[in-house]
Structure 1
Amino acid sequence: MAAFAEGVPCWVDVTLPDVEAGKRFYGELLGWTFGTSAPEYGMYTQAFRAGKNVAALVGKPDGRMPTAWSVYLATGDVIGTARKVRDEGGTVITDPVRVGDFGTMAVVADPGGAVFSLWQAGSHAGFEEQGVPGSYGWAEVYTRAPERVDAFYEAVFGFRVEPDEGAGVPGVVRWTPRGRPAGAEHAVGGRGLISAGYPTEMPAHFLTYFVVDDCDEAVAITQQLGGRIAIDPVTTPHGRSSVVIDSQGASFAVIDTRTRGDAATA
């Protein structure tokens, strides 16, 4: 598999109190099957769609840890990138550490407080499948410090920050890696705003989107499985999406990229 370009989201995993319950939830919702859990890595369990890896589930070693999806951004030099994170006003939460022969990771946060991971690939490059139903589709960071955060991702990863008119929400931008042409088709992620309409206690965070065949059906299945809706389905030029919460409290989004509209509508 070809390596992911610098800064491109290459992997996601979710930390859960109960991995077996997570397997039942995501297996039913997204059609995933699962590999053998690795006890030496916190019961780390890879998820597959049609035999290709698409994400992973991991057990919470500590109840104080958040139940949440994590996004990994690719880097060819995790030590150097972690240094850039510090230099540009971010925080290194966990210094670079090798994960067997799979690769080397670090956990960091941007200047607005949104946590993400860096991944320098070894034998595990990242997604074998993405952009199709049942797999990863998109990631964006939500922040209250847009100017500082935009400058951070430009400096650390070389992203070009462009307005995203297709998002249907004012102030949203998209990221395009260095060397790629401008335009939504070349973007790899984006940045939204935590506006006054959100709870004051909501922290800055990354939101992971998974592609589905039908957004409304996925929302209904989420509720049937014990999850709930955080943001009702809306149709934009990018597709019809909804933010939901799984049966254990982890937030994510589902998006049907084939159902599109000219402006954001319910």
Structure 2
Amino acid sequence: MVVEGEEVYGEGVPCWVDAQLADVEAGKRFYGELFGWSFEDAYGSSVWALLGGAHVASLAPKTDGRMPTVWTVSFATPDAEALGRRITATGGRVVMAPFPVGDLGVAALATDPEGAVFGLWQAGSHRGFGRRHEPGTFVWAQLYTRDTATANAFYGGLFHEALFGEGARPDFGRADVTDVFPAEMPPHFLAHFRVADLDGALGAVQRLGGRVQAPPFETSYGRVAVVTDNQGASFALLQR
């Protein structure tokens, strides 16, 4: 049975993260140890990741070995079809048209004008995160881009209310790729998970077969390190 998120996520708010992995069982061992997640069957061959009984992420097997091993951030929308049209009209691209995921909701995949990939989620019975902003859960998404002006215009136009509306708390920001990564790194979203002890979490990542991509650095939203799991999926750890 799906435990719904307690919140209703407004359009443009990050509402879910999922990992596409070659080996879901290996992913369960890695993230279960790192974040204290437990797991249960979800849709198809995917699994829910739970913390304290609440859904916090999902792990899915790659359907094609040529697909990247990645974490994807999805943004809430009441109408994935309409948002897809706006994305296309403003220079982005819909790479996977909206499709139903049982009664859970409607998903789609898109890119911004620079090619950074993100998901869309139109909620059905599954609204999104059951818990967030706590240790072991999603806390922030950072867009690394080469053209901050274009990114500001694109996302500001798409998600104006989430970014600038009264009481806005978008849970995502943007930075230049070269602030953290080599210049050849393509633009991308990086999911951040909160931890209580960043140094201890980095030790666990390495012990579990992952690696540190970028050692700890200070940001306006906390102390961050970028890591990969034991299959190569990148994500960030954030201590606030």
TM-score band by shorter chain is over 0.9
Match of 2:228 in 1: 245
Match of 1:193 in 2: 176
Match of 1:89 in 2: 91
Q: Work out whether residues 34 and 46 of structure 1, in 8 Å CA contact, stay in contact via their aligned partners in 2.
A: yes
Cα distance in 2 between the residues matched to 1:73 and 1:196: 24
Which sections of structure 2, spanning at least 5 residues, go unmatched?
A: 1-5
Query: Residues 196 and 23 from structure 1, CA distance in 2 versus in 1: closer, same or farther, beyond 3 angstroms?
Result: closer
Query: Residues 177 and 103 from structure 1, CA distance in 2 versus in 1: closer, same or farther, beyond 3 angstroms?
Result: farther
Identical amino acids, percent of aligned pairs: 46
Match of 1:19 in 2: 24
Of the three residues 151, 154, 158, the one matched with 1:152 is: 154
Of the three residues 60, 63, 74, the one matched with 2:62 is: 60
Match of 2:121 in 1: 119
Match of 1:210 in 2: 193
**Higher-RCO chain (CA-CA 8 Å, sequence separation at least 6):** 2
1:93-143 residue CA offsets vs partner (Å, 9 max, x unmatched): 011111110001110000111000111000000000001111111001111
Q: Work out whether residues 67 and 249 of structure 1, in 8 Å CA contact, stay in contact via their aligned partners in 2.
A: yes
Cα distance in 2 between the residues matched to 1:238 and 1:117: 23
Cα distance in 2 between the residues matched to 1:197 and 1:60: 27
Query: Residues 61 and 192 from structure 1, CA distance in 2 versus in 1: closer, same or farther, beyond 3 angstroms?
Result: same
Q: What one-letter code is carried by the residue in structure 2 that aligns with 1:151?
A: A
Q: Secondary structure at the match of 1:4?
A: coil
Cα distance in 2 between the residues matched to 1:53 and 1:141: 24
Match of 2:209 in 1: 226
Deviation at 1:236, TM superposition (A): 4.0
Q: Work out whether residues 77 and 120 of structure 1, in 8 Å CA contact, stay in contact via their aligned partners in 2.
A: yes
Match of 2:140 in 1: 138
Match of 1:77 in 2: 79
Cα distance in 2 between the residues matched to 1:199 and 1:92: 27
Query: Residues 250 and 237 from structure 1, CA distance in 2 versus in 1: closer, same or farther, beyond 3 angstroms?
Result: same
Deviation at 1:199, TM superposition (A): 2.9
Cα distance in 2 between the residues matched to 1:236 and 1:188: 14
Query: What's the TM-score once normalised by structure 1's chain length?
Result: 0.84
RMSD (CA atoms): 1.6
Match of 1:48 in 2: 50
Cα distance in 1 between the residues matched to 2:61 and 2:180: 32
Cα distance in 1 between the residues matched to 2:227 and 2:186: 17
Q: Work out whether residues 142 and 192 of structure 1, in 8 Å CA contact, stay in contact via their aligned partners in 2.
A: yes
Match of 1:107 in 2: 109
Deviation at 1:75, TM superposition (A): 0.4
Deviation at 1:195, TM superposition (A): 2.0
Q: Work out whether residues 10 and 73 of structure 1, in 8 Å CA contact, stay in contact via their aligned partners in 2.
A: yes
Deviation at 1:46, TM superposition (A): 0.3
